[in-house]
Amino acid sequence: MTRAVLLLVGDEYEDLELQYPKLRLREAGYVPVVAGQVKGHSYRGKYGYPCHSDRAIGDCDANAFEGILLPGGWMPDKLRRDASVLALVRAFDQQKKLLASICHGPWIAISANVVRGVRYTGSLGIRDDLINAGALWHDAAVVIDGHHVSSRKPDDLPEFTAAMLQVLDLQIH
């Protein structure tokens, strides 16, 4: 059985917030699958690190994955305008599969309308956005609320990825 997790990518993604979880997932026996708006495209991170997309987001089906990662950077502001991204995030939420977001990544979850009543954290820069969307704000390194895992910034990545793996392991067992 392939235990795949979908990681979204686009130009100006936060390099560490995608690459660190990608490696940790692989170490834990999961198959990280990177999806961008275009399959086979090389996207540049905020700090110049390239990331190649394995698939196009529009071709992805939540049924094929254990969870989804929404990294931060400036990428989420663009991806949250894509109807296929929002539909995919809503599908993960409806299926109660891991929905992990860090820093500005919750912008996508906000636009997908899946944060109302859910405990969340993120970059302080989007605190008001989360609150205005109905999320219950917590300023913490990581917040777990059911299948939602959220975090603030790259410094929180160890706690964030541990929480992602915890939720994934609970889903499988």
Measured in residues, the chain has a length of 173
Residues 82 and 57 sit within 8 Å (Cβ to Cβ): yes
Residues 164 and 21 sit within 8 Å (Cβ to Cβ): yes
Contact residues for 35 (Cβ-Cβ < 8 A; gap 6+): 6, 7, 8, 9, 53, 54, 55, 56, 57, 59, 60
Q: Which residues are tagged catalytic?
A: 104
The single-letter code of the amino acid at 148 is H
